Chains A and B, each alone.
Chain A
Amino acid sequence: MPPAVDNSCYVQFKNVKKSYDQRTLVVVDFTLDIAKGEFVTLLGPSGSGKTTCLMMLAGFEDVSSGEILVEGQPITHVAPYHRNIGMVFQHYALFPHMTVEENLAYPLKVRKLPDTEVKRRVANSLDLVELSNFGKRYPGHLSGGQRQRVALARSLIFEPSIVLMDEPLGALDKNLREQMQFEIKRLHEQLGFTAIYVTHDQTEALTMSDRIAVFDQGVVQQCASPDQLYERPSNAFVADFIGENNHLAGTVLQRNNDYTELQLSDGSRIKALTGDCPEAGAACVLAVRPENLFIASDKVALDNRINATFITQLYVGDFIRYFFQLEDKSEIMIKQLNDHQAPKLSAGAVTSLTWSVNDGLALNLSTT
Chain B
Amino acid sequence: MPAHLSIKEIADSQAQLRRKKLVLFAFTLPLLLFVMLAFVAPIATMLYRSVYHPTVAQLIPQTLKQMQGWETQPDTLPDSDSLVTFALELKSLAGERRSGKLAEEINRVFPGASSLIKSTARKLKHLDEQEIIASQGTILLDSHKKWHNPALWHAIASAGEVWTSRYYLTALDLQLSPEGAIESRDTRIYLKLYWKSLRIALLITLLTAVLAFPLSYFLANASSAKANTLLVFVLLPFWTSLLVRTTSWIALLQTNGVVNSTLKVLGIIDQPLELLYTEFATVISMTHILLPFMVLPLYSVMKNIDPSYFRAALSLGAKPLPAFAKIYFPMTLPGLSAGALLVFIISIGYYITPALVGGTDGQMISNIIAFHMQSSNNWELAAALGSLLLVLILALYWLYDRMVGVNNIKLG
Contact = CB atoms under 8 A, between A and B. Distances in A.
Interface of A: 58-60, 79-81, 83-87, 89-91, 93, 95-97, 106-107, 110-111, 154-155, 158
Given A95-B327, A96-B331, A97-B331, A111 B317 contact: yes
Closest 9 CB pairs of A and B: A107-B316, A93-B312, A87-B315, A93-B308, A89-B308, A80-B314, A110-B317, A110-B318, A97-B330
B308 A91 contact: yes
Interface centre among B315, B319, B322 (most CB of A within 10 A): B315
Contacts of A90: 308
Contacts, number: 60
A97 B332 CA distance: 11
A89 B316 contact: no
A93 B309 contact: yes
Nearest to A94: B312
B308 A158 contact: no
B131 interface: no
B313 interface: yes
29 contacts: A58-B311, A58-B315, A59-B314, A59-B315, A60-B314, A79-B314, A81-B315, A81-B317, A81-B318, A81-B323, A83-B315, A84-B317, A85-B315, A86-B315, A87-B311, A87-B312, A87-B315, A89-B312, A93-B306, A93-B308, A95-B309, A95-B313, A95-B327, A106-B326, A107-B316, A110-B318, A110-B322, A155-B315, A155-B316
Interface centre among B308, B312, B331 (most CB of A within 10 A): B312
Interface in B281-326: 306, 308-309, 311-320, 322-323, 326
Given A60-B314, A93-B306, A97-B330, 17 more contacts: A60-B311, A80-B314, A81-B323, A83-B315, A89-B311, A91-B308, A93-B308, A93-B309, A95-B313, A95-B327, A96-B331, A106-B326, A107-B317, A110-B317, A110-B318, A155-B316, A158-B316
A158 B317 contact: yes
A264 to B, nearest CB: 49
A79 B321 CA distance: 13
Contacts of B327: 95
Contacts of A107: 316-318
B316 A154 contact: yes
Interface centre among B317, B322, B323 (most CB of A within 10 A): B317
A34 B404 CA distance: 49
Interface centre among B306, B311, B319 (most CB of A within 10 A): B311
A58 B313 CA distance: 12
Contacts of B326: 106
A266 B302 CA distance: 60
Interface residues of B, number: 19
B13 to A, nearest CB: 33
Contacts of B320: 81
Interface of B: 306, 308-309, 311-320, 322-323, 326-327, 330-331
Contacts of A106: 313, 316, 318, 326
Interface centre among A79, A90, A96, A106 (most CB of B within 10 A): A106
B213 to A, nearest CB: 18
A199 B313 CA distance: 22
Contacts of A60: 311, 314
Given A96-B331, A110-B322, A91 B315 contact: no
A80 B308 contact: no
A213 B152 CA distance: 100
Nearest to A104: B316
B323 to A, nearest CB: 8
A89 B318 CA distance: 16
B317 A93 contact: no
A213 to B, nearest CB: 22
A79 B314 CA distance: 9
A59 B317 CA distance: 12
A89 B314 CA distance: 12
A10 B331 CA distance: 37
Contacts of B308: 89-91, 93
A248 B311 CA distance: 46
Interface centre among B306, B308, B319, B323 (most CB of A within 10 A): B308
Given A93-B306, A93-B308, A81 B331 contact: no
Contacts of A85: 315
Contacts of B319: 81
A85 B314 CA distance: 10
Contacts of A110: 316-318, 322
A59 B318 CA distance: 13
Contacts of A87: 311-312, 315
Contacts of A83: 315
A111 B327 CA distance: 16
Given A91-B308, A95-B309, A81 B330 contact: no
Contacts of A158: 316-317
Interface centre among A85, A87, A90 (most CB of B within 10 A): A87
Contacts of B317: 81, 84, 107, 110-111, 158
A158 B322 CA distance: 18
B182 to A, nearest CB: 47
A97 B306 CA distance: 14
A81 B306 contact: no
A95 B323 CA distance: 11
Contacts of B313: 95, 106
A228 to B, nearest CB: 32
A41 B315 CA distance: 20
A93 B328 CA distance: 12
Contacts of B306: 91, 93
Interface centre among A79, A83, A93 (most CB of B within 10 A): A93
A95 B313 CA distance: 9
A110 B323 CA distance: 9
